[in-house]
Structure 1
């Protein structure tokens, strides 16, 4: 008998190695698939595992029947996948990628010939046919739109705005080319009345200048060091802050630095956040602008100070507060440096400066107070305080007294309507966020609500709660947006409130009564020991809340991590969006990053439409029973986030990710750009937003729709801009259809809200901040980038 040739030995080893691989896959699928089936899940993986086992045995025996069995696996997988998800490409891919690739391997000549057949001989035809069918289905799926809404917004101008108001529904006008507050005006619309940039010329935008702040992350910074600023523009100057609270003034036309102020904030390991969303501006009525401190910039710092600066020079206004600053720790209980600070700019009115603050998440039941305080904008004297734990006592706190500890706070941006004499507060939850067994009556009233206060006195005028007895950290995260809506019975002063759960509540801002219908829907019961769950939860007619997750929605890059995610899904308690947190572990969807977060929405007050960037990530919450207040269960060192010292439970919380590659366990898309009519609540269009280029193991620009943490900007020219996706781009969209018209690569994560202004040269500028987000893992940076059309650009007649 002839000796085997080296080629023959190699082929033999290929068959043996392939059989071993199939055996290992079979054992994994049979074990994990049987476990999933026993938990009430799909039996597909067990059956596929048995098919792999038979294939492995036949390969070992060098039988061509292995190809037939595997052809049945391919065909069966295809039928099962289509039944589960139809022609959804991103859902089909992980169900079939490994199956098809292994089928192609088995169909190669070096395998088939060793099995006594050929790839295209009768023995190989069933496998070939099943693979061709799988490829055809994949092609159909890739060409089949399976997500989003295609439609058009009406571009009819429902309301006409005077040029100097530029969309502010009430209270002093802002010049159309300026941006005087976080949302451009105190109404928080994030709307520019400039129309030079249009759908016909937006693709001509080029970088006009770039400025680097020099404020980069330090080794001592917390994980959540983020650059979320939206600069202001007043006359010919831009004003901005940085994560370490530098305040910088730039020439709006060139980006040249005019002045810089360093408040010398000391590092502190106790801080959870290090960010600055913006500064505030006030001009003294009737004063000569050249007078020192006639125009002021107000800066809240990470060490709980509020500083007033001369807008012209950056020098401290020493006639404000105590030598130019207010100590926000004054009157606070449980003083612990690093545990209280303001990350959002204060609201400025004609005569008041209104400021809230953030506390570290869930460290203990003895946190600082969530009080909101109003100061005289000129002197810094305390005028009133609204303490959600003691809401009736709004007169200035007596010397030596303290505010209520651990009361719900206002960490995001407030809005104001001076004509109605109301300030609107987006209120958070009372820690512990995920266990509410000891909340006070006042906390239950104000937690997770938008609340209107009388400007003059701070007294409550109305409260609208967006979540009852919130156990999911669904703070009202975004600035309320004010707009006058042209309704069938006449104009109505409205408030538009986006929420983490995806509802956008449209309320009459005079009374808090819904304009678009709000219903109470039954919610899951069964809270942890000592707690309860609200029987119903409010739902708005205008909503981007996702449908409930099913096991078939679990995802992964391959069948293996998808199987792991299915097992995890079955192991968790999940009965809809309001499933109470549990010791077993609860799937929370949407998670606490929220469908909407601090970036909020943009509202076009003339067309009366809203532009939004809904995001979708599932989280897992697990309560851990505490036995004492000395041990840490979920944190490593200071500040002890989520330990909930003094409560019965600590909480382990994080996104639901696949164990193999760390991708989200629920199928994409994870992020959209969308628009809706505010008068009807109808969603006009909703499209995938962003790629996985900067988050995937291989930087491929697959447009899967990714989370956005930032806010949109909408312009009178009919273009919406946003930069907050976890890939590093700023994009422009057609307001009418949602079609992407333009994009540009950013040097770092753009997790901030863009703004637009008219420069000294007469051009409309788009300003983008690219500094990254620590907890999202996007690249850190310090860039301020201004875009504009070329000076002599033809706008195409738009």
Structure 2
């Protein structure tokens, strides 16, 4: 073998690395030039030059390559520390690749071809120092937890504070939020922080309701079952109701409404296929009570003394006998009310109730989902109250005509396109009030044509009189909403201890991260709410509010900066930085624009329909905030057709027919499909409601089920769905993007247990006592189509091992 041949082969690896570094450098240089022209960091331009020159030197077999690379790595480490400090997940895309290549370049068999006269290659020592510095930086970052708050609740109760929600057996879960107060607090104590790790699967049941080939993309299992009347009541995405034995999961009865396609070619006409829950009404509960007006209750003769009310995806409200699953023939038209009445035309699936109705002594009250951003001529957001026994319309509250609640005349149509209430009501029958978390008037990102009536009740909380539907008070949380900041979570009612005594409070969690705390009798703020200046400058034909209300009790994130842009490599991070600098962003409430604007928090919100849970005895809230940025871009109406058809509510151009602009609204993601903003993206936290301070806050969840490689890295992922708490101090959450049900100690946030699930569980779990006297924790694991979690049809119960 010739010496020249051996030397040629030994130079192969440096040459290959040289080519790689040259290509990396040129790519980084090109991106760096564009970023610098946008006013961004100069690092990528300079690093690109350094990497490209290093590659050229390696191709020339020059020892100076090591010294130059040492300078690039050293400067990169200093720059990374200056930008993000010791934040491991922020350091990874900046340094990991350069660090690994530095180690390769230090290997003897790599350096050997660079020797010409037997002397050590120039720069070896410098490169060694740079690699060690980068490694030490990475090691030191393992001992930090940016964004987390460590704390400990030092009390088991607050003097004089009790659970004042409507009475029910401790082991039942009568309403979506356990009680009509929406507190999601159970007085059960069998599962404790000391034994929660002993939870095991008790039983599993499969509903058989799986997404089909013609279903919409957002087919979701967001159901929280009820446990009442000795049974569990589950509803499925296709509006089926199943009664199960709570101890065994054995099916007792099933009702299938046999959905109509409403003349759609197939189910793809629907934006969603969702059933969050059903509602239970028992005449016996009211037999000895008085109505809110003080009149005595009369005995009610009914073919269905115990009823389940089911909203269907084809726009019906059905009353079922809770004992048998048969339709209650005395309700409406042989057991059902057609909610299309007086609504006017709509696209199939464009109007129906995704959430359970509210019930009171005499009424069943229902709102409705209206598909966002299709047109300016969509169905009304009317709230309708029907007689709980006969199905007769008693009153209607239309936010577009808010003063007239007299049942609408035959042949008339409710105000088209008025703000709707698609989430869950809270009810205080003692005060005689219903609490409505309101959405806004579609289209979401353009409000130039909104009426004063629609603006008044949008994106806030409205309290109605139960008996008449008249407005008692209202409070707006987002003025002239251009960001889809409808109030998604069920309001929570509780007695709150304050410096001025105990207050009857309503808590409203919101997408922007504020938790508004109001007196539920008057609507006056209990926790201060301040009007803060926000960015200005809407598109032509629209306007912005000069200020927005911010609660002193909030989990709002700090504004994004360029350095917050993230990726798994320097290259997708660079693309995210270019994307960030290319769009308009002036902080929260940056108006939509033709240029494209960043919406942060995004329209999934810090808190969405999962809401919050409270412990009224400890006076804390247990919450699961998420932080995901979105981007919106306004498209002039004349250009919409060229963009192609709308695919879903989060894909393609939303046409906003009748408005001067359509909109593209999507998550701010890197080319690899990961969030452009740095983790963590999801937390669990507790708030002391007596001081308004966050007690503790810990990142929550892994990327096991959302990354190409199923590694359970604890990065903190978003969650969709809510929490619940128990009197023993254990909280539960299942809504994270990874497939787990988890238990936490509410005093400090310590994770006590996790159970692996066969599918995503973007819902709110619940707890109950079985006939065997055991406490169970129940979760529906069916996945979420638009979030991409694994879909299924599972209902799973857990209890402590013997």
TM-score by structure 2 length?
A: 0.95
- Number of the residue aligned with 1:649: 661
Q: Residue 4 of structure 1: SS of its match in structure 2?
A: helix
Alpha-carbon deviation of 1:630? 7.1
Indicate how the Cα distance of structure 1 residues 22 and 122 shifts in structure 2: closer, same or farther if over 3 A, else same: closer
Deviations 1:603-633 (A, max 9, x none): 1111111010000010010000002897765
Would the aligned equivalents of 1:189 and 1:602 in 2 still touch at CA under 8 Å? yes
8 Å contact 1:159–1:607 — kept in the other structure?
A: no
**Cα gap change, 1:84/1:253 in structure 2, threshold over 3 Å: closer, same or farther?**
same
Report what 2:616 is aligned to: 605
Q: What residue in structure 2 maps to residue 203 of structure 1?
A: 197
Q: Do 1:481 and 1:496's aligned partners in 2 also have CA atoms closer than 8 Å?
A: yes
The aligned residue for residue 109 of structure 2 is 110
Indicate whether 1:738 and 2:749 are aligned.
Answer: yes
Contact between 1:248 and 1:260, CA under 8 Å: does it hold in 2? Answer: yes
- 1:193 is aligned to 187
- What is the distance in 1 between the residues matched to 2:698 and 2:547? 31
Distance in 1 of aligned mates of 2:389 and 2:601: 43
1:373 aligns with 2:372: no
Q: Distance in 2 between matches of 1:628 and 1:9?
A: 58
Say which is worse superposed, 216-225 or 95-104, in terms of deviation: 95-104
Work out the CA distance in 2 between the residues paired with 1:692 and 1:769: 21
What is the DSSP-based 3-state SS (H/G/I as helix, E as strand, rest coil) of the residue aligned with 1:726?
coil
Aligned partners of 1:225 and 1:274 also within 8 Å: yes
1:537-594 Cα deviation digits (max 9, x unpaired): 0000110110000000000001000000001100000001100000110011000011
Report deviation, 1:9. Answer: 3.1
Alignment of 1:31-110 (within 5 A): 31-110=30-109
Q: Give me the whole-angstrom Cα distance separating, in 2, the residues matched to 1:453 and 1:623.
A: 36
Give secondary structure in 2 for the equivalent of 1:195: coil
Find the counterpart in structure 1 of residue 274 from structure 2. Answer: 275
Q: In structure 2, which of residues 699, 706, 710 is the aligned counterpart of residue 699 of structure 1?
A: 710
1:642 Cα deviation (Å)? 1.8
Q: CA RMSD in A?
A: 1.9
- Tell me if structure 2 keeps the 8 A contact 1:108–1:119: no
Distance 1:159 1:622 in 2: 52
- Map Cα deviations across residues 747-773 of structure 1 (whole Å, 9 max, x no partner): 000101010011100011100111100
Partner SS state of residue 281, structure 2: strand
Distance 2:407 2:179 in 1: 28
Distance 1:183 1:620, change over 3 A: same
SS of the residue 2:749 aligns to: coil
Residues 334-369 of structure 1: per-residue CA shift (max 9 Å, x gap):
243321010000001111111000011110000011
Contact 1:351/1:376, CA 8 A, preserved across alignment = yes
> 2:369, 2:21 → 1: CA distance?
54
Picking from 490, 494, 498, the partner of 2:501 is 490
Is the Cα contact below 8 Å between 1:370 and 1:387 reproduced in 2?
yes
Task: Name the SS for the 2:35 alignment partner.
Answer: helix
What is the aligned partner in structure 1 of residue 290 from structure 2? none
Residue equivalent to 1:795: none
Instruction: Name the CA distance, whole Å, in 2 between partners of 1:2 and 1:455.
Output: 96
Closer/same/farther in 2, CA of residues 296 and 693 from structure 1, 3 Å limit? same
CA–CA separation in structure 1 for the residues paired with 2:461 and 2:229:
33
Residue 292 (structure 1) shift: 4.2
CA contact (8 A) 2:193 2:752 kept: yes
Runs of 4+ in structure 1 deviating by more than 4 angstroms, as ranges, are 117-123, 159-162, 286-292, 628-634, 636-641
2:528 to 517, 521, 527: 517
TM-score by length of 1: 0.96
Is the CA contact 1:119–1:128 (under 8 Å) kept in the aligned structure 2? no
C-alpha deviations, 1:711-747, integer Å up to 9, x for none? 0010101000000000000100001000111101000
In structure 1, the residue matched to 2:632 is 621
- Cα offset, 1:789, TM superposition: 1.0
Separation in 1, partners of 2:213, 2:161: 49
Aligned-partner Cα distance in 1 for 2:459–2:189:
37
Which runs of 5 or more residues in structure 2 are unaligned?
A: 262-266, 288-298
Q: In 2, distance between residues paired with 1:336 and 1:368? A: 10
Question: Partners of 2:187 and 2:35 in 1: how far apart?
Answer: 56
Hey, what's the Cα distance between the residues in 2 that align with 1:51 and 1:123?
15
Which residue number in structure 2 is paired with residue 129 of structure 1?
129
Is the Cα–Cα contact under 8 Å of residues 120 and 128 in structure 1 kept in the other structure? no
Deviations 1:213-250 (A, max 9, x none): 11101011111100000000014210010000110000
